[in-house]
Structure 1
Amino acid sequence: MTTPHSVDHDLIRAATQVAAARSRGDNHTVAAAARDRDGRIITAMNAYHFTGGPCAELVVIGAAAAQGAYDLVTMVAVGDRGRGVIPPCGRCRQMMLDYFPDLRVIVGAGGRPRAVPVAELLPESYRWQDHQEHDDQQQHDGRTTTP
């Protein structure tokens, strides 16, 4: 495991403020904040739905893209009602790794946040990009892959 990076407390505060101000019942209970390479902070809320609505981390990725922020460097999720920093679920971890392999994710309960590389949250992980390059090369060479 690598040494944790310094924690972006401004990012935690931004997510905490959004969670406190925008939480609406059971539909919006988690806020996420991400910082891009230029220092911009993008925030978003989850959209809970029994069919599997998106987590706040996924919404912040989309919101960042809508604002032209394609190089996120740090992300955090914060629960409403004072729950503090919460770790990303498995689906979010996988998408973070695929979209931003160098991303740092702030985790840590009990008031002890730390920033860790997203790859550490998914040891021995499957990386979609690794398999796409392999498939593209096989198609380029005239070979096909079987499912």
Structure 2
Amino acid sequence: MSAAPVSGAVADPSVRCADPVARRLVAAAFTQIARVYVPERHQIAAAVLDADGGVHLGLHLDAMVGRAAACAESSAVSAARLATTAPLVAVAAVRYPKPSEKGGARIVPPCGLCRELLLDHGAPGIVAVIDAGVPALVPLADLLPHKYVGTKWGPQ
């Protein structure tokens, strides 16, 4: 494994966030991934905000078998649940660029599985995304308008 790059080598995407919540979460995720980035192993970090103001971090863990990989958002939700029962209210994830890629770190939306997980554990929640080229906070339900609703936990 190669060492993580110097965090100043790649621009922090939080500087483009007008919303203070988005800026806080994107900065936390960026700081984390800039610190521990390893190509093909750890490329994304996420930050989840709880209703008490706590920020919980998660790291993408890649694996040789893709199904065994863990998303940064799910790791952050797990960290939050270990630390607090407070409702989860917002999330942001940042992808660090590979050495061969042009451009800087960028805000990335949660994958479909993480959208389901976040709605299960943090609805209604908001998520930082890039909307029309600008960082924005949007309701999580807008990213997954027809969420699966089963009978496992009863009415939600």
Query: Are the structure 2 counterparts of residues 98 and 75 from structure 1 closer, same or farther at C-alpha, using a change threshold of 3 Å?
Result: same
Deviates more, 1:111-120 or 1:55-64: 111-120
Q: Quick check: 66-75 or 113-122, which moved more?
A: 66-75
SS of residue matched to 1:18 = helix
Distance 1:69 1:14 in 2: 21
CA offset at residue 10 of structure 1? 1.0
- The structure number with the bigger radius of gyration is 1
Alpha-carbon displacement from aligned partner over 1:20-64 (angstroms, at most 9, x marks no partner): 111122111100001111111111211111242110000001111
Q: Does 2:149 align with 1:133?
A: no
Residue range with higher mean Cα deviation, 119-128 or 87-96: 119-128
State the shift of 1:7 in Å: 5.4
Instruction: Give the match for residue 36 of structure 2.
Output: 22
User: What TM-score comes out, normalization by structure 1 length?
Assistant: 0.78
Equivalents in 1 of 2:82, 2:153: separation in Å?
25
Structure 2 CA distance for partners of 1:109 and 1:85, relative to 1, 3 Å: farther
Count residues with an aligned counterpart: 128
Equivalent of residue 113 in structure 1, options 127, 131, 135: 135
Q: Distance in 2 between matches of 1:108 and 1:7?
A: 15
**In structure 2, what is the Cα distance between the partners aligned to 1:55 and 1:97?**
15
2-side partners of 1:20 and 1:45: how far apart? Answer: 11
Report if aligned partners of 1:98, 1:127 keep a CA contact under 8 Å in 2.
no
Unaligned stretches of 5+ in structure 2?
A: 1-18, 98-103
Distance in 2, matches of 1:107 and 1:86, equals 6
Runs (4+) of structure 1 exceeding 3 A deviation are none
